[in-house]
Amino acid sequence: MRLKRYAALSALSALLLFTATAVCLQFARDDLDWVRATLSLYLHGPHGLLLRTAYCVLAAGIAVLALALYLDMQGRARRSLPLALFCTAGLGLTTVAVGDSWLPEHAPLLAPLVHGLAAQAAFLCVTVAMLVQAWCFGRDARWHGRHRLAWWWAWLAFAGLWLHVLWRGSPRGLGQKLVIALVVGWLAWAAMRLWRQARSNG
């Protein structure tokens, strides 16, 4: 149980660090319009390295949380698919962060393709992973009471992602950041529930 508490706190710390960094940059970067500018634009220019580092920390936090949830599930609720999807999302985030560090300078034609594929894979994998994990919650007696909230929250994030993708006339920055907020909020909620559960079980 102590290991689960540490894992949950580590994941929660990573999520909070990423959130704090992203929010602070909305005020620090007065050269970008936060409504129109997607978060990816903040990866370059002033404080870009800070955000790229936060991306990598977030990726590690997602992987830690995914593994902790996988080990916490019991019986038929334990499925490897959400673990694989969460880890793939983390890999996509890391690819975005690392690729944007040197690809634009050394391979300017390849950089947009790598960034686009990695970012899209990260978004799609994490939202689908949330749906599958929420489904798993419904099959674990200890999590069953939280299943409905997790399920509809995950669907909201999934629908928000596709609305952002398909509605090209929407404010791109605001739409993307709302989806990110839904995803990070869901992950933070899951980490907090895992920590409380592990603490109550001693």
pLDDT, tens digit, 9 for 90 and up, residues 108-166: 888 889 999 999 999 999 999 999 999 999 999 999 999 999 999 999 999 999 999 99
* Rounded average pLDDT over 74-99: 96
Domain ranges of the chain: 2-200
pLDDT, tens digit, 9 for 90 and up, residues 95-109: 999 988 888 787 888
User: What does the DSSP assignment read for 26-83?
Assistant: HHH-TTS-TTTS-GGGGGSSTTHHHHHHHHHHHHHHHHHHHHHHHHH--GGG--HHHH
Query: How much is the pLDDT for 44?
Result: 92
pLDDT, tens digit, 9 for 90 and up, residues 2-13: 788 899 999 999
Written as six digits, the tokens of 81 are 């698919």
- Lookup result for tokens 């970008």: 32
79, amino acid identity: R
pTM: 0.95
Written as six digits, the tokens of 194 are 């895992």
Q: Is the predicted pLDDT of residue 69 greater than 80, yes or no?
A: yes
